[in-house]
Structure 1
Protein backbone atom coordinates (compact mmCIF):
# COMPACT_ATOMS: atom_id res chain seq x y z
CA UNK A 1 0.00 0.00 0.00
CA UNK A 2 1.42 3.38 -1.04
CA UNK A 3 0.94 6.17 1.51
CA UNK A 4 3.89 8.57 1.12
CA UNK A 5 3.26 11.55 -1.17
CA UNK A 6 3.40 10.54 -4.81
CA UNK A 7 2.96 12.17 -8.21
CA UNK A 8 -0.10 10.74 -9.95
CA UNK A 9 -0.43 11.31 -13.70
CA UNK A 10 -3.91 10.65 -15.07
CA UNK A 11 -4.97 9.76 -18.57
CA UNK A 12 -8.23 11.49 -19.50
CA UNK A 13 -10.30 9.75 -22.21
CA UNK A 14 -11.85 6.53 -20.87
CA UNK A 15 -10.05 6.96 -17.55
CA UNK A 16 -11.64 10.14 -16.18
CA UNK A 17 -14.58 10.30 -18.58
CA UNK A 18 -16.24 8.11 -21.20
CA UNK A 19 -14.97 8.77 -24.72
CA UNK A 20 -14.60 5.79 -27.01
CA UNK A 21 -18.18 4.68 -26.37
CA UNK A 22 -19.26 7.65 -28.53
CA UNK A 23 -17.01 6.50 -31.37
CA UNK A 24 -18.32 2.95 -31.03
CA UNK A 25 -21.92 4.14 -31.30
CA UNK A 26 -21.09 5.94 -34.54
CA UNK A 27 -19.21 2.90 -35.83
CA UNK A 28 -22.24 0.70 -35.16
CA UNK A 29 -24.39 3.06 -37.21
CA UNK A 30 -21.72 3.23 -39.91
CA UNK A 31 -21.52 -0.57 -40.20
CA UNK A 32 -25.30 -0.82 -40.43
CA UNK A 33 -25.28 1.81 -43.16
CA UNK A 34 -22.52 0.13 -45.17
CA UNK A 35 -24.33 -3.24 -45.41
CA UNK A 36 -21.60 -4.92 -47.41
CA UNK A 37 -22.84 -8.33 -48.65
CA UNK A 38 -19.39 -9.95 -48.86
CA UNK A 39 -17.32 -8.41 -46.06
CA UNK A 40 -20.14 -8.12 -43.55
CA UNK A 41 -19.82 -6.01 -40.40
CA UNK A 42 -16.65 -7.77 -39.24
CA UNK A 43 -14.87 -7.31 -42.54
CA UNK A 44 -15.77 -3.64 -42.86
CA UNK A 45 -14.70 -3.05 -39.27
CA UNK A 46 -11.32 -4.64 -40.01
CA UNK A 47 -10.85 -2.30 -42.95
CA UNK A 48 -11.79 0.68 -40.78
CA UNK A 49 -9.38 -0.39 -38.02
CA UNK A 50 -6.56 -0.60 -40.56
CA UNK A 51 -7.34 2.86 -41.93
CA UNK A 52 -7.61 4.36 -38.45
CA UNK A 53 -4.24 2.91 -37.44
CA UNK A 54 -2.58 4.44 -40.51
CA UNK A 55 -4.27 7.81 -40.07
CA UNK A 56 -3.42 8.00 -36.38
CA UNK A 57 0.26 7.70 -37.26
CA UNK A 58 0.07 10.49 -39.83
CA UNK A 59 -2.71 12.76 -38.61
CA UNK A 60 -3.07 12.04 -34.90
CA UNK A 61 -6.27 11.44 -32.96
CA UNK A 62 -9.72 12.93 -32.52
CA UNK A 63 -13.11 13.10 -34.17
CA UNK A 64 -11.92 14.92 -37.31
CA UNK A 65 -9.42 12.19 -38.14
CA UNK A 66 -12.02 9.56 -37.29
CA UNK A 67 -14.55 11.04 -39.73
CA UNK A 68 -11.84 11.18 -42.39
CA UNK A 69 -11.23 7.48 -41.78
CA UNK A 70 -14.91 6.72 -42.29
CA UNK A 71 -14.79 8.43 -45.69
CA UNK A 72 -11.69 6.51 -46.70
CA UNK A 73 -13.34 3.29 -45.57
CA UNK A 74 -16.32 3.94 -47.83
CA UNK A 75 -14.02 4.45 -50.80
CA UNK A 76 -11.90 1.38 -50.09
CA UNK A 77 -14.81 -0.97 -49.45
CA UNK A 78 -16.98 0.31 -52.33
CA UNK A 79 -13.96 0.72 -54.62
CA UNK A 80 -14.93 4.15 -55.87
CA UNK A 81 -14.88 7.79 -54.85
CA UNK A 82 -17.47 8.58 -52.19
CA UNK A 83 -20.50 10.45 -53.47
CA UNK A 84 -21.59 13.84 -52.16
CA UNK A 85 -24.52 12.14 -50.43
CA UNK A 86 -22.22 9.66 -48.71
CA UNK A 87 -19.87 12.39 -47.53
CA UNK A 88 -22.84 14.38 -46.22
CA UNK A 89 -23.97 11.31 -44.24
CA UNK A 90 -20.51 10.99 -42.70
CA UNK A 91 -20.35 14.72 -41.95
CA UNK A 92 -23.64 14.44 -40.07
CA UNK A 93 -21.98 12.12 -37.54
CA UNK A 94 -19.81 15.06 -36.43
CA UNK A 95 -22.73 16.14 -34.26
CA UNK A 96 -22.06 13.17 -31.98
CA UNK A 97 -18.81 14.82 -30.89
CA UNK A 98 -19.96 18.41 -30.55
CA UNK A 99 -21.60 18.28 -27.12
CA UNK A 100 -20.45 20.51 -24.32
CA UNK A 101 -20.78 17.87 -21.62
CA UNK A 102 -18.74 14.79 -20.74
CA UNK A 103 -19.81 11.71 -18.80
CA UNK A 104 -17.44 11.18 -15.88
CA UNK A 105 -16.46 7.64 -14.97
CA UNK A 106 -18.22 6.63 -11.72
CA UNK A 107 -16.28 7.74 -8.65
CA UNK A 108 -13.90 10.07 -10.49
CA UNK A 109 -15.00 13.40 -9.00
CA UNK A 110 -15.03 12.17 -5.41
CA UNK A 111 -11.79 10.22 -5.75
CA UNK A 112 -9.85 13.10 -7.29
CA UNK A 113 -11.03 15.40 -4.52
CA UNK A 114 -9.51 13.05 -1.95
CA UNK A 115 -6.33 12.34 -3.89
CA UNK A 116 -5.63 16.03 -4.56
CA UNK A 117 -5.29 16.53 -0.81
CA UNK A 118 -2.74 13.73 -0.51
CA UNK A 119 -0.65 13.81 -3.68
CA UNK A 120 0.40 15.95 -6.63
CA UNK A 121 -1.83 15.33 -9.64
CA UNK A 122 -1.09 15.86 -13.35
CA UNK A 123 -3.22 15.13 -16.40
CA UNK A 124 -1.74 13.74 -19.62
CA UNK A 125 -4.04 13.33 -22.61
CA UNK A 126 -3.44 12.95 -26.32
CA UNK A 127 -5.35 14.19 -29.33
CA UNK A 128 -6.47 17.39 -31.01
CA UNK A 129 -5.62 20.26 -28.65
CA UNK A 130 -8.87 22.17 -29.12
CA UNK A 131 -11.01 19.06 -28.80
CA UNK A 132 -9.21 17.80 -25.70
CA UNK A 133 -9.28 21.24 -24.07
CA UNK A 134 -13.04 21.38 -24.60
CA UNK A 135 -13.44 18.06 -22.79
CA UNK A 136 -11.15 19.12 -19.95
CA UNK A 137 -13.16 22.31 -19.48
CA UNK A 138 -16.46 20.44 -19.66
CA UNK A 139 -15.30 17.94 -17.04
CA UNK A 140 -14.81 20.67 -14.38
CA UNK A 141 -11.85 18.64 -13.08
CA UNK A 142 -8.90 20.84 -14.09
CA UNK A 143 -8.63 22.49 -10.67
CA UNK A 144 -7.44 19.19 -9.18
CA UNK A 145 -4.32 19.11 -11.37
CA UNK A 146 -1.09 21.07 -11.14
CA UNK A 147 -0.78 20.91 -14.93
CA UNK A 148 -2.77 19.58 -17.88
CA UNK A 149 -0.62 18.31 -20.75
CA UNK A 150 -2.17 17.71 -24.18
CA UNK A 151 0.17 15.87 -26.53
CA UNK A 152 0.03 14.45 -30.03
CA UNK A 153 1.19 10.97 -28.97
CA UNK A 154 1.90 9.13 -25.72
CA UNK A 155 5.06 7.13 -26.29
CA UNK A 156 8.22 6.57 -24.27
CA UNK A 157 9.69 9.90 -25.38
CA UNK A 158 6.55 11.71 -24.19
CA UNK A 159 6.95 10.31 -20.71
CA UNK A 160 10.68 10.98 -20.61
CA UNK A 161 10.08 14.59 -21.64
CA UNK A 162 7.38 14.96 -19.00
CA UNK A 163 9.74 13.66 -16.33
CA UNK A 164 12.34 16.23 -17.32
CA UNK A 165 9.93 19.13 -17.75
CA UNK A 166 8.21 18.58 -14.39
CA UNK A 167 11.34 17.39 -12.52
CA UNK A 168 9.62 14.15 -11.54
CA UNK A 169 11.16 11.30 -9.58
CA UNK A 170 10.18 8.15 -11.53
CA UNK A 171 10.23 5.92 -8.45
CA UNK A 172 7.44 7.96 -6.83
CA UNK A 173 5.48 8.74 -9.99
CA UNK A 174 2.54 6.73 -11.28
CA UNK A 175 0.78 6.81 -14.65
CA UNK A 176 -2.89 5.92 -14.29
CA UNK A 177 -4.93 4.90 -17.31
CA UNK A 178 -7.00 2.40 -19.25
CA UNK A 179 -4.75 1.91 -22.28
CA UNK A 180 -1.96 -0.66 -22.16
CA UNK A 181 -0.48 0.79 -25.36
CA UNK A 182 -0.48 4.49 -24.46
CA UNK A 183 -0.64 4.62 -20.67
CA UNK A 184 1.00 1.58 -19.15
CA UNK A 185 3.73 0.17 -21.41
CA UNK A 186 5.44 3.44 -22.44
CA UNK A 187 5.26 4.78 -18.88
CA UNK A 188 6.94 1.63 -17.58
CA UNK A 189 9.58 1.85 -20.33
CA UNK A 190 10.32 5.37 -19.10
CA UNK A 191 10.84 4.08 -15.56
CA UNK A 192 7.52 5.14 -14.05
CA UNK A 193 5.13 3.03 -12.03
CA UNK A 194 1.66 2.49 -13.47
CA UNK A 195 -1.94 1.77 -12.52
CA UNK A 196 -4.11 -0.06 -15.03
CA UNK A 197 -7.86 0.54 -14.76
CA UNK A 198 -9.56 -1.24 -17.68
CA UNK A 199 -12.52 0.26 -19.51
CA UNK A 200 -14.88 -2.03 -21.41
CA UNK A 201 -14.99 0.51 -24.25
CA UNK A 202 -11.24 0.99 -24.72
CA UNK A 203 -10.40 1.53 -28.41
CA UNK A 204 -9.17 -1.68 -30.00
CA UNK A 205 -6.01 0.08 -31.23
CA UNK A 206 -5.10 0.86 -27.62
CA UNK A 207 -5.03 -2.80 -26.60
CA UNK A 208 -1.75 -4.57 -25.83
CA UNK A 209 -0.40 -7.31 -23.59
CA UNK A 210 0.79 -6.43 -20.09
CA UNK A 211 3.39 -8.44 -18.21
CA UNK A 212 1.53 -10.14 -15.33
CA UNK A 213 4.78 -10.44 -13.37
CA UNK A 214 5.52 -6.70 -13.41
CA UNK A 215 5.12 -5.71 -9.77
CA UNK A 216 5.28 -2.01 -10.62
CA UNK A 217 1.92 -2.17 -12.39
CA UNK A 218 -1.07 -2.03 -10.09
CA UNK A 219 -4.23 -3.57 -11.55
CA UNK A 220 -7.53 -2.15 -10.29
CA UNK A 221 -11.14 -2.82 -11.26
CA UNK A 222 -12.60 0.62 -10.54
CA UNK A 223 -11.35 4.21 -10.28
CA UNK A 224 -12.44 4.62 -6.66
CA UNK A 225 -10.09 1.79 -5.63
CA UNK A 226 -7.23 4.27 -5.98
CA UNK A 227 -8.11 5.53 -2.51
CA UNK A 228 -7.17 2.13 -1.05
CA UNK A 229 -3.62 2.50 -2.38
CA UNK A 230 -2.89 6.22 -2.49
Structure 2
Protein backbone atom coordinates (compact mmCIF):
# COMPACT_ATOMS: atom_id res chain seq x y z
CA UNK A 1 0.00 0.00 0.00
CA UNK A 2 1.36 3.48 -0.89
CA UNK A 3 2.76 5.50 2.00
CA UNK A 4 1.14 8.77 0.95
CA UNK A 5 -2.54 9.37 0.14
CA UNK A 6 -3.98 10.21 -3.25
CA UNK A 7 -4.01 13.84 -4.31
CA UNK A 8 -0.29 14.59 -4.02
CA UNK A 9 1.31 16.91 -6.58
CA UNK A 10 4.33 15.27 -8.18
CA UNK A 11 6.76 17.52 -10.05
CA UNK A 12 8.77 15.13 -12.21
CA UNK A 13 12.08 15.79 -13.96
CA UNK A 14 12.57 14.61 -17.56
CA UNK A 15 16.18 13.98 -18.69
CA UNK A 16 17.62 10.86 -17.01
CA UNK A 17 14.46 10.53 -14.93
CA UNK A 18 11.93 9.65 -17.64
CA UNK A 19 14.30 8.96 -20.52
CA UNK A 20 17.98 8.48 -21.20
CA UNK A 21 19.90 11.65 -21.92
CA UNK A 22 23.36 12.08 -20.48
CA UNK A 23 24.63 8.74 -21.79
CA UNK A 24 24.51 10.23 -25.30
CA UNK A 25 26.53 13.24 -24.18
CA UNK A 26 29.06 10.92 -22.55
CA UNK A 27 29.49 9.03 -25.83
CA UNK A 28 29.98 12.30 -27.70
CA UNK A 29 32.54 13.45 -25.13
CA UNK A 30 34.44 10.17 -25.37
CA UNK A 31 34.59 10.55 -29.16
CA UNK A 32 35.71 14.17 -28.80
CA UNK A 33 38.52 13.26 -26.39
CA UNK A 34 39.66 10.45 -28.67
CA UNK A 35 39.66 12.77 -31.69
CA UNK A 36 41.58 15.50 -29.86
CA UNK A 37 44.14 12.83 -28.91
CA UNK A 38 46.08 15.24 -26.74
CA UNK A 39 49.73 14.25 -26.26
CA UNK A 40 50.28 16.07 -22.97
CA UNK A 41 46.91 15.89 -21.21
CA UNK A 42 45.39 12.61 -20.13
CA UNK A 43 41.77 11.88 -21.09
CA UNK A 44 40.80 12.71 -17.49
CA UNK A 45 42.57 16.08 -17.72
CA UNK A 46 40.85 16.87 -21.02
CA UNK A 47 37.53 16.02 -19.41
CA UNK A 48 38.27 18.35 -16.50
CA UNK A 49 39.07 21.12 -18.97
CA UNK A 50 35.81 20.47 -20.82
CA UNK A 51 33.87 20.55 -17.54
CA UNK A 52 35.35 23.98 -16.83
CA UNK A 53 34.44 25.23 -20.30
CA UNK A 54 30.90 23.90 -19.91
CA UNK A 55 30.47 25.81 -16.66
CA UNK A 56 31.54 29.00 -18.44
CA UNK A 57 29.28 28.35 -21.42
CA UNK A 58 26.24 27.59 -19.29
CA UNK A 59 26.60 30.90 -17.46
CA UNK A 60 26.69 32.78 -20.76
CA UNK A 61 24.39 30.70 -22.95
CA UNK A 62 22.34 28.38 -20.76
CA UNK A 63 21.78 24.65 -21.17
CA UNK A 64 21.03 22.57 -24.22
CA UNK A 65 22.69 21.13 -27.29
CA UNK A 66 23.77 24.48 -28.81
CA UNK A 67 25.57 25.31 -25.57
CA UNK A 68 27.23 21.89 -25.49
CA UNK A 69 28.34 22.29 -29.11
CA UNK A 70 29.88 25.65 -28.26
CA UNK A 71 31.71 24.05 -25.33
CA UNK A 72 33.25 21.33 -27.49
CA UNK A 73 34.46 23.86 -30.05
CA UNK A 74 35.88 26.18 -27.38
CA UNK A 75 37.62 23.33 -25.58
CA UNK A 76 39.17 22.08 -28.82
CA UNK A 77 40.39 25.57 -29.68
CA UNK A 78 42.01 25.93 -26.26
CA UNK A 79 43.68 22.53 -26.10
CA UNK A 80 44.57 21.63 -29.67
CA UNK A 81 48.19 22.35 -30.56
CA UNK A 82 47.04 23.04 -34.12
CA UNK A 83 44.50 25.68 -35.22
CA UNK A 84 40.93 24.55 -35.79
CA UNK A 85 40.23 24.57 -39.52
CA UNK A 86 36.85 24.03 -41.18
CA UNK A 87 37.25 20.25 -41.35
CA UNK A 88 38.16 19.96 -37.69
CA UNK A 89 35.25 22.22 -36.70
CA UNK A 90 32.84 20.12 -38.72
CA UNK A 91 34.13 16.96 -37.05
CA UNK A 92 33.80 18.43 -33.54
CA UNK A 93 30.33 19.81 -34.23
CA UNK A 94 29.39 16.39 -35.58
CA UNK A 95 30.00 14.81 -32.17
CA UNK A 96 27.34 17.10 -30.71
CA UNK A 97 24.99 16.68 -33.65
CA UNK A 98 24.98 12.93 -33.10
CA UNK A 99 23.02 13.55 -29.88
CA UNK A 100 20.19 15.28 -31.72
CA UNK A 101 19.73 12.20 -33.88
CA UNK A 102 18.96 9.93 -30.92
CA UNK A 103 15.47 8.54 -30.50
CA UNK A 104 13.79 9.05 -27.14
CA UNK A 105 14.58 5.98 -25.03
CA UNK A 106 12.25 5.77 -22.05
CA UNK A 107 13.67 4.31 -18.88
CA UNK A 108 12.18 0.96 -17.79
CA UNK A 109 8.44 0.99 -17.00
CA UNK A 110 8.18 4.77 -17.10
CA UNK A 111 5.02 4.80 -19.22
CA UNK A 112 3.20 2.27 -17.05
CA UNK A 113 4.28 3.96 -13.83
CA UNK A 114 3.18 7.41 -14.99
CA UNK A 115 -0.19 6.00 -16.02
CA UNK A 116 -0.59 4.51 -12.56
CA UNK A 117 0.54 7.66 -10.73
CA UNK A 118 -1.68 9.91 -12.85
CA UNK A 119 -4.72 7.91 -11.79
CA UNK A 120 -4.23 9.07 -8.17
CA UNK A 121 -2.11 12.21 -8.24
CA UNK A 122 -1.55 15.54 -9.98
CA UNK A 123 1.54 15.33 -12.22
CA UNK A 124 3.58 18.27 -13.53
CA UNK A 125 6.60 17.77 -15.76
CA UNK A 126 9.43 20.12 -14.74
CA UNK A 127 12.58 20.19 -16.84
CA UNK A 128 15.33 22.71 -17.49
CA UNK A 129 17.16 23.57 -20.68
CA UNK A 130 16.57 25.05 -24.11
CA UNK A 131 12.79 25.50 -24.42
CA UNK A 132 12.38 24.28 -28.00
CA UNK A 133 14.73 21.35 -27.43
CA UNK A 134 12.98 20.17 -24.27
CA UNK A 135 9.50 20.71 -25.70
CA UNK A 136 10.44 18.54 -28.68
CA UNK A 137 11.64 15.77 -26.35
CA UNK A 138 8.38 15.89 -24.43
CA UNK A 139 6.41 15.68 -27.67
CA UNK A 140 8.46 12.77 -29.01
CA UNK A 141 8.30 10.90 -25.72
CA UNK A 142 4.53 10.46 -25.90
CA UNK A 143 4.29 11.15 -22.16
CA UNK A 144 2.65 14.58 -22.18
CA UNK A 145 -0.80 13.00 -21.78
CA UNK A 146 0.00 12.08 -18.19
CA UNK A 147 0.83 15.64 -17.10
CA UNK A 148 -1.53 18.50 -16.33
CA UNK A 149 1.24 21.00 -17.11
CA UNK A 150 4.78 21.16 -18.46
CA UNK A 151 7.26 23.60 -16.93
CA UNK A 152 10.42 24.22 -19.00
CA UNK A 153 12.72 26.51 -17.04
CA UNK A 154 16.16 27.96 -17.68
CA UNK A 155 17.44 26.95 -14.24
CA UNK A 156 16.20 24.93 -11.28
CA UNK A 157 16.95 27.00 -8.21
CA UNK A 158 14.87 27.87 -5.13
CA UNK A 159 13.32 31.04 -6.67
CA UNK A 160 12.23 29.03 -9.72
CA UNK A 161 10.62 26.37 -7.54
CA UNK A 162 8.87 29.03 -5.49
CA UNK A 163 7.52 30.58 -8.71
CA UNK A 164 6.17 27.21 -9.86
CA UNK A 165 4.61 26.63 -6.44
CA UNK A 166 2.89 30.01 -6.65
CA UNK A 167 1.85 29.63 -10.30
CA UNK A 168 0.14 26.30 -9.70
CA UNK A 169 -1.04 27.19 -6.19
CA UNK A 170 0.59 24.10 -4.76
CA UNK A 171 0.15 22.94 -1.18
CA UNK A 172 3.73 22.38 -0.11
CA UNK A 173 3.10 19.63 2.45
CA UNK A 174 1.51 17.55 -0.34
CA UNK A 175 3.93 18.46 -3.16
CA UNK A 176 7.09 16.66 -4.26
CA UNK A 177 9.98 17.09 -6.68
CA UNK A 178 11.19 13.84 -8.22
CA UNK A 179 14.44 13.57 -10.16
CA UNK A 180 17.97 12.27 -10.52
CA UNK A 181 19.97 15.46 -9.92
CA UNK A 182 20.93 16.44 -6.38
CA UNK A 183 22.01 19.87 -7.62
CA UNK A 184 18.86 20.75 -9.60
CA UNK A 185 16.04 18.43 -8.55
CA UNK A 186 16.56 17.77 -4.86
CA UNK A 187 18.47 20.42 -2.94
CA UNK A 188 16.76 23.54 -4.36
CA UNK A 189 13.34 21.89 -4.11
CA UNK A 190 13.91 21.15 -0.44
CA UNK A 191 15.10 24.73 0.04
CA UNK A 192 11.83 25.93 -1.51
CA UNK A 193 9.76 23.89 0.94
CA UNK A 194 8.90 20.84 -1.17
CA UNK A 195 9.36 17.18 -0.34
CA UNK A 196 11.71 15.32 -2.70
CA UNK A 197 12.42 11.89 -4.14
CA UNK A 198 15.94 11.25 -5.38
CA UNK A 199 16.06 8.68 -8.19
CA UNK A 200 19.58 7.37 -8.65
CA UNK A 201 20.84 7.22 -12.23
CA UNK A 202 24.35 5.92 -12.87
CA UNK A 203 24.95 8.34 -15.76
CA UNK A 204 23.85 11.57 -14.10
CA UNK A 205 25.82 14.49 -15.57
CA UNK A 206 28.88 15.27 -13.47
CA UNK A 207 27.92 18.96 -13.26
CA UNK A 208 24.69 17.89 -11.55
CA UNK A 209 26.48 15.98 -8.80
CA UNK A 210 26.19 17.33 -5.26
CA UNK A 211 25.77 16.07 -1.72
CA UNK A 212 22.11 15.58 -0.91
CA UNK A 213 20.81 18.14 1.56
CA UNK A 214 19.29 17.10 4.86
CA UNK A 215 15.56 17.85 4.58
CA UNK A 216 14.28 20.57 6.91
CA UNK A 217 12.00 19.52 9.74
CA UNK A 218 8.61 18.46 8.42
CA UNK A 219 9.89 17.69 4.91
CA UNK A 220 10.65 14.28 3.41
CA UNK A 221 13.57 13.11 1.29
CA UNK A 222 13.21 9.60 -0.09
CA UNK A 223 15.90 7.80 -2.13
CA UNK A 224 14.94 5.21 -4.76
CA UNK A 225 16.88 3.24 -7.35
CA UNK A 226 14.17 2.79 -10.00
CA UNK A 227 11.26 4.84 -11.36
CA UNK A 228 8.63 2.08 -10.94
CA UNK A 229 9.18 2.10 -7.18
CA UNK A 230 7.35 5.41 -7.06
CA UNK A 231 4.11 3.40 -7.18
CA UNK A 232 5.10 1.78 -3.89
CA UNK A 233 5.17 5.20 -2.25
CA UNK A 234 2.47 7.13 -4.05
TM-score by length of 1: 0.96
The answer for unaligned runs of 5 or more in structure 1 is: none
Q: Deviations over 1:137-178 (max 9, x none)?
A: 110000100000111111111100000000001111000000
Would you say the 8 A contact 2:29–2:95 is kept in 1? no
Matched residue of 1:47: which SS? helix
1:118 aligns with 2:120: yes
SS at match of 2:156: coil
| C-alpha distance in 1 between matches for 2:80 and 2:96 | 22
Are positions 1:181 and 2:183 aligned together? yes
Deviation at 1:29, TM superposition (A): 0.5
Q: Aligned equivalents of 1:79 and 1:51: distance in 2?
A: 17
CA distance, structure 2, for counterparts of residue 113 and residue 71 of structure 1 = 41
Deviation >3 Å, runs of 4+: 211-215
Q: What is residue 205 of structure 1 aligned with on the other side?
A: 207
Who is 2:36 aligned against? 34
Aligned to 1:21: 23
TM-score normalised over the length of structure 2: 0.94
Corresponding residue for residue 56 of structure 1: 58
Alpha-carbon separation, structure 2, partners of 1:14 and 1:223: 10
| Correspondence for 2:225 | 221
1:2-151 maps to which residues of 2 (within 5 A)? 2-78=4-80, 81-99=83-101, 101-151=103-153
Query: How far does residue 79 in structure 1 lie from its aligned partner after superposition?
Result: 5.6
More displaced stretch, 160-169 vs 99-108 = 99-108
Between the aligned partners of 1:166 and 1:118, the Cα distance in structure 2 is 18
Q: How many residues align?
A: 230
Kept in 1, the 8 Å contact 2:187–2:213? The answer is no
Which runs of 5 or more structure 2 residues have no equivalent in the other structure? none
